[in-house]
Amino acid sequence: MKLFYIQTSKARTLSAFLLVLILPVTCYTQVKKDTTLLKEVVITSSKSWQSLGNVTQKIEVIPAKTIENTISGNRNICDVLQNQPGASVSVLSRNDANWGTYGGIGPKYSTYMLQGLPVDAFIDPMSLDLSAVSRIEVQRGPASVLYSNYLSQDFAGNQSPLAGTVNLILKEKFDKAATRASISFGTYNTLNGQLYHQDTSKNIHYYAGINYEMSDYTNYGTEGSWLNMQKNPEYRKAKIYGGATWFSNDDRQKVTLFINKTFHTGDAGRVYRGFANDYTTINAGYFLNLRKNIDLQAHMGYRGYYRTWQESHFNVIDSLSSNNGVVQHIIPVDVLVTVKHWNESVLTAGVDYQAADYATYTDPLVGYNTYGNKSKSSQTGVYLQEELHIAKFIVRAGLRFNNTQNNIELISGGAPGQKNSQWNRLLYSLGVKYNISEVISLYANAGNSFMTPGLKSTGGTILPGDTLHSGQLPNPGLKPESGIGIDGGIDLLLPLKIQFSLRVFNTTVSDAIIDNVVRQNPSQSQSVNGGKSLSTGVEAELRQTIGKWFGWFGNLTWMKTKISNSSDADQDGSNVPFSPELVINAGFSFTAPFGLQITPSLNYNSGFFDSSSKAGRRKFTPGLQFNAFVSQTIIKTRKYNLSFFGQFYNITNNQYEMPWQFRDTGFSVMGGLKVEF
């Protein structure tokens, strides 16, 4: 496959903050009864519609309006989670993935899902379009019984919901037809155009849209970086998507279909550093209400990932070294039955399956492709969960049996030491919640996980001893990892409808597979078993909504991470890579009667290391970042609305360094017009 590229050249702070958050807790008994916290329905924790007060896990619901007003400086869905407790987002650039952390245990321990089916936590946040999403449900804490691992072999390898999961809920039903179009222009000659339409036809509700962006972008490497940019790193990204839902006349059945296609091409600022990515995401689902309290659901999807990139000799911009690529196909399936019985209790039983193939190749300019890694994997899971509602208590218990099989044909271009591998594991999940009153509740959860190493981690993308090319060094001796996660917390409704939550968590992973940065120039990493990784943390959050015109939030996450590895003194006692000790978020949203809306947010990250090696690691300190969204309605009639909007990213121009010699590009702005009719 020939690569094509762009043709045009263009410990006191923590204590004080916790004190501020916790002091109002003593006043909860003064609050009149209010069910505000229990109104929003969720599906993530139980795969059935329930209110937030009826699940044991901690869940946040991010509505469409919040999503729309989020500043995504790096064009990544992970940016929407930046202001959520427990998360640390570290997107390397507009063309690269997020390497942040969830619950302090690394970037691959909180899975992403689309309507309950897993997607890749690294690739899909770059490729899916949020215009198709009605809301995002974020479950924090172990979720490994109802939701499976994801067999992604690329980037950091397979992914597990040990620290939580992020569920993107698609749009399904519309009250009326609507069309939205926008065009915006901003820093780095960035031009963005979007068109979206939704409508109904008899029993079918459907939508479709396109999002196209082109940019000259800018140098996102540090001084002397291996990226060695000699020109503006241009890119073009087109997302084409559509979905439809058919409802039966009695609303007892529905059939859903969603398709997203993303084309992403560009270069990394050198003549022979081009890339071309082609991603396909398909989701299909069927829902049937068998009886009054019995529902059947069946979901099936397809994920196709095609990535190609060029390598050139370092510091020689006119000498092509090779064309490289990754091809991956994943088919997830999930079939389940939910039975609602005694006193709102829910029994869930189901089976899920994944089939995946993965291959890396290179064309060393000899006229044919040479495969590096090649494998097929499958995963079958059977799960059962009971959620009992007894007076003011909710007691939850679940089991999952998992079978994972790997068939490796090639590893680093040669025959594998062990071609076939198989693992069987029994996983569990437990939870309890005590709703003391309508304004205060306590909860606790526990669960475990098991995850095999990905082929990219074992086989790498470059050969052992290579010091000239960027990529992943192989480590064929990697062991599978297992983990245990526990959490507990309190939710309160304070005077003036102020919501307060406090959550503590502890996650332990044995034989943790972590990615170490082993060379900055060129960019190289290697997966290693880091012994036992431990993350202990506290999340505290306050938020309040005052009518339809004002809302504010503030949250803090403190995390203490440690690696215990008695066989390697260099790793023993170090920190989990990419996991900061302190993250603070704050912001508000103001909407005036005359159509003005202002939504600023502030994020503070105390810094993290890029490696578990105490001798070779570096610390990166993002510090403060300030973003703001502003919009003003210009014309509002019965037929259409016209508004102007501005997106201000990194207003303080904080160009902090990130791993692999990347850096934040600093202040940028986008301004445009949006019409809705």
Per-residue pLDDT tens digits for 209-226:
999 999 999 999 998 888
Burial 72-98 (b: 16+ CB within 10 A, else e): bbbbbbbbbbbbbbbbbbbbbbbbbbb
pLDDT at 466 exceeding the cut of 80: no
Nearest 5°: CA angle at 353, between 348 and 359? 150
Q: What is the CATH number of the domain that holds 425?
A: 2.40.170.20
pLDDT at 201: 96
What is the CB-side half-sphere exposure of residue 217 using CA atoms within 13 A?
A: 29
Residue 1 counted as domain residue: no
Report how far residue 462's alpha carbon sits from residue 475's, in angstroms, rounded to the nearest whole number: 11
Residue 526 counted as domain residue: yes
Residue 371: C-alpha distances to residues 252, 412, 446, 461 (Å): 49, 8, 42, 10
pLDDT at 1: 38
Nearest 5°: CA angle at 641, between 637 and 645? 145
Query: pLDDT (tens digit, 9 = 90+) per residue, 254-275?
Result: 999 999 999 999 999 988 899 9
Residue 338 counted as domain residue: yes
Regarding predicted confidence, which is higher, 644 or 28?
A: 644
Peptide bond into 118 cis (omega under 30): no
Q: Which of 30-39, 357-366, 587-596 is predicted most confidently?
A: 587-596
Query: pLDDT (tens digit, 9 = 90+) per residue, 95-150?
Result: 999 999 999 998 889 999 999 999 999 999 999 999 999 999 999 999 989 999 99
Count of domains for the chain = 1
Residue 205 counted as domain residue: yes
CA-nearest of 644, 607, 646 to 627 is 646
**What's the whole-number mean pLDDT along residues 76-102?**
94
Residue 195 counted as domain residue: yes
Residue 3 counted as domain residue: no
**Mean pLDDT across the chain:** 88
pLDDT at 491 exceeding the cut of 50: yes
Peptide bond into 233 cis (omega under 30): no
Residue 547 CB partners (closer than 8 Å, separation 6+): none
pLDDT at 239: 98
Beta bridge partners of 263: 238, 278
Residue 98 counted as domain residue: yes
Report how far residue 70's alpha carbon sits from residue 63's, in angstroms, rounded to the nearest whole number: 11
Query: pLDDT (tens digit, 9 = 90+) per residue, 424-454?
Result: 999 999 999 999 998 999 999 999 999 888 7
Report how far residue 492's alpha carbon sits from residue 440's, in angstroms, rounded to the nearest whole number: 5
Asked if 329 contacts 303 with a C-beta cutoff of 8 angstroms, the reply is: yes
Asked if 528 contacts 611 with a C-beta cutoff of 8 angstroms, the reply is: no
Regarding predicted confidence, which is higher, 512 or 620?
A: 620
Query: pLDDT (tens digit, 9 = 90+) per residue, 295-327?
Result: 999 999 999 999 999 988 766 566 888 889 999
Read off the tokens for 536.
């202990």
Which letter does DSSP use for residue 479 in this model?
P
pLDDT at 24 exceeding the cut of 60: no
Regarding predicted confidence, which is higher, 492 or 467?
A: 492
Domain boundaries, position 560: 12-676
pLDDT at 315: 62
Residue 560 counted as domain residue: yes
